[in-house]
Amino acid sequence: MTAAEDTSAAEDNPAVGPVLRLHPFSWLFVLITRLRPFILPAILLLFFGQGSSWELWGAVGAVVLAIYALIYSFGFRYQIAGEELLVREGVIFRTERHVPFSRVQSVVQKRNVLHLLFQVTELRLESAGGTKPEAVMNVIPVAEAERLELLLRHGATTAADSDAGSDLDSASASATEAAAEPLLRLPTSEVLRLGLISNRGWIVVGMFFGLWWQLAPEDWQLWRLAREPLGQLFNIWGADPATALEGLMWLVPIAIGFGLLLKPLSMVMTLLMFHDFRLLRSASRLGAESGLLTRRSASARADRIQRLVMRAPILARLLGRRTLACDVAVQRQDDNADELGRLHWLAPIATPAATDRLIAELDPAMAFADRQWQPLHRDAWRRELKGWVIAALIAGVVLWFPLRHLTVVPVLALLILGWFGSRGWARFAAWSWDGRALSYRAGWLVREWTTALIANGHSASLRESPFDRRRGMATIGLSTQGAGRMLFPLRIPYLPMVTARQLHRELTTTMAAAVAGAVGRSAPTGRSGSRRAS
C-alpha cells in the first residue's frame, strides 16, 4: 500500500493514524545515502585503479548494502498517535521510538534532483538533546512531508486544533505554501551578489587540490609542479634585499588577483546553495529553504532561536548589504560545517533595512537598531594594536634573513595597517544592555554584531587577565546554547572595570529571574523515549 492511500484513510480518525511506510522507492535513496562516501573513490578506482582485489570486495559490500537498504526501507513504519509520532525501524534490532511533537525543535528536509524526479523528500526531525536526529524518513512523498510539518506546527500550538484539522484534510502542498508568509525571498541577482561577497570558492579550490593530491599521475604531482616556482622564489630570497622585497611585493597583487578569480566560483557555489532562498514563517515555526539542484529546507520553533549574529564584510558594505544568521538550540555542534543542515541563515544577504525589519518581526527585543551603544574602554585600541605589533615583530624576525635593512618596509606597512585597524576596530566596537538583551558589535574590515536575550543565557562570566588589570579592564561574556564555534562570540572585551563589575552584577540578577520565568513556561527539552526489541 502506498502512503497516498494511507493519508486518505487517516481522514477518518485523525487522533491515531494508520501505520505508514516509506515511499516504495526509498531503498534507492537509502542505498545512495549509504554508498555516497564510496561512490567517488569507486569511480576513481575504476578509471585510475590498477585492478586490484579491492574492486571485488567493493562490489560485495555494495550488494550487502543494497540488501540492507531494501530490508530497512521496507521495514520502516511510522504512525501518528495523538500528539506524538511513533517510529519503528531497524533490520535486526527493531527500535520503537516515541517522538512527542512538542519535543521536535528542528525539521530538516532535503531534496536533490533524484528526489524531485520521484516527488519525494528526506525528512529529519531533531530535538534539543542528543547527538542523533529523533527520526529520519528517507524518503517520503512531498505531500506527506508537508502534512507532517503541518501537524508539527499545530501540534505545538494546540489552540488552533480545529484549524489544523481542516488543513490536514486538504493536505495539499499549495495550501501550506499559502499559509506560510515569506519573510524574505532572494532573487537571483541577490544570490549573485552574495557570491561576490562570500569566499565559498575556496571550498571548490580545496576539493580540487584534495582530488589532485589523491589522483594525479606520477609526473603531475603537486610537489613536482610546485618545485620550480618555489625554487625561483628561494632564488629571489637568496638574492639581494631589493630583489627579495620586490618579490614580496608581487605577492600582494597575486593574492588579490587570485581572490578575484575565485569570485565566479563563489558565485556558482552560492547559486547552487542559495538559489531561490526563502525564509518562511507559519504559526510558531520559522523555516528556510534554498538550493538549485539539491533543495534543502530547515525549520525550527521561532522561540528556540538563541542568538542573532549579523555580519558586514567590507565588500558587503560597499554593496550596501549584510548577512544575518542565528543559533538554534539543537545540540549537535559537530555538525556545524553543514550550514544548510539546519536553520542557520535568516538572511544570507539583505539590505540593512531588510535585516532590521526581519529582526523586528522575529523579536523586537533583539533589534540592533535603536540601541544605546556604549563604547569600550578608551584604551581598547591600544590592546588591539598590541596584536598587530606582535605580528609585525614576528614578520620582522622571519623576513630579516632575506630583506636585511629593507625589513623596515613590511614591518612599517604592518604597523600602519595595525594603527588604522585597531583605531577603526575600537571606533566601531560597542556594547549595549537594556535589561532584556545583551549586544556587542566590533570589527574593522568585517563588522559583526551579536545579540542574545538574557532569558536564553546559560552562564555569565567576568574575566580579567593580567593585561586587563594593568589598564583596569575586564571581559564580560554571556554563554548561550548551540553557539557555533566559528561565529562571532557574545564576549565583550576591554570594558572599564567599574562598568564590567556593574554589568556583571546586573546580568546575574536579571538572568536568574528571567531564566526562572522562562524555564517555568517552556516545555522540557529532553530526548524522547525509545525502546529496543530484537
Partner 1 sequence: MEEPELAAPSGLPTPEPTADPIPESASTATATPTATVEYRLHPKAPKVWTIVASIVAAFPLTGGTITFFALELYWAPPLLAVLAVVVVWLLTRYFRRYARTVSCQLSPLGLLIRRGVWWRAEIFVPRERVQHTDVDQGPLARRFGMASLKVFTAGSEHSQIEIDSLRHSEALAVRDELIDRSVEAMNDGPGDGSAA
Can you give the binding site for partner 1, defined by CB under 8 A?
A: 329, 331, 333, 372, 374, 433, 457-466, 477, 479-483, 485, 489, 497-499, 501-509, 511-513, 515-516, 518-520, 523-524, 526
CA 312, 316, 318, 321 dihedral sign is negative
> Please, which residue, 421 or 489, has the CB nearer to partner 1?
489
Grid cell, residue 198, equals 562570500
Q: How far is the CB of 421 from partner 1 (least distance, A)?
A: 25
Q: How far is the CB of 452 from partner 1 (least distance, A)?
A: 10
> Please, which residue, 45 or 518, has the CB nearer to partner 1?
518
Q: How far apart are the first and last CA of the chain?
A: 25
User: CB of 301 within 8 A of CB of 222?
Assistant: no
> Please, which residue, 34 or 103, has the CB nearer to partner 1?
103
CA 186, 192, 193, 199 dihedral sign is positive
> Please, which residue, 405 or 485, has the CB nearer to partner 1?
485
Amino acid at 530: S
Q: How far is the CB of 254 from partner 1 (least distance, A)?
A: 38
Q: How far is the CB of 125 from partner 1 (least distance, A)?
A: 20
Q: How far is the CB of 339 from partner 1 (least distance, A)?
A: 17
User: CB of 317 within 8 A of CB of 447?
Assistant: yes
Three-class SS of residue 25?
A: coil
Q: What angle do CA 196, 202, 208 make, to 5 degrees?
A: 130
Neighbours of 191 (CB within 10 A): 22
Amino acid at 352: P
Q: How far is the CB of 513 from partner 1 (least distance, A)?
A: 5
> Please, which residue, 23 or 332, has the CB nearer to partner 1?
332
> Please, which residue, 463 or 531, has the CB nearer to partner 1?
463
> Please, which residue, 402 or 482, has the CB nearer to partner 1?
482
Q: How far is the CB of 528 from partner 1 (least distance, A)?
A: 11
Grid cell, residue 438, equals 545583551
Q: How far is the CB of 509 from partner 1 (least distance, A)?
A: 5
> Please, which residue, 34 or 332, has the CB nearer to partner 1?
332
Grid cell, residue 21, equals 511506510
* One-character DSSP codes across 57-124: HHHHHHHHHHHHHHHHHHH-EEEEETTEEEEEE-SSSEEEEEEEGGG--EEEEEE-HHHHHHTEEEEE
3-state secondary structure string across 481-534:
CCCCCCCCCCEEEEEEHHHHHHHHHHHHHHHHHHHHHHHHHCCCCCCCCEEEEC
The alpha helices in 180-334, defined as continuous H runs, are 188-197, 201-215, 222-238, 241-274, 314-318
> Please, which residue, 62 or 515, has the CB nearer to partner 1?
515
Ramachandran region, residue 54 (left: φ > 0; alpha: ψ -120 to 50; beta: rest): alpha
Three-class SS of residue 262?
A: helix
Q: How far is the CB of 511 from partner 1 (least distance, A)?
A: 5
Q: How far is the CB of 311 from partner 1 (least distance, A)?
A: 19
Q: How far is the CB of 449 from partner 1 (least distance, A)?
A: 18
Q: How far is the CB of 441 from partner 1 (least distance, A)?
A: 16
Q: What angle do CA 159, 164, 168 make, to 5 degrees?
A: 160
> Please, which residue, 125 or 460, has the CB nearer to partner 1?
460
Q: Say what the alpha-carbon torsion angle 331, 337, 339, 341 is, to the nearest 10 degrees.
A: -60
The whole-angstrom separation of Cα 456 and Cα 304 is 9
63, burial (CB in 10 Å: exposed 0-12, middle 13-18, buried 19+)? exposed
> Please, which residue, 323 or 480, has the CB nearer to partner 1?
480
> Please, which residue, 8 or 465, has the CB nearer to partner 1?
465
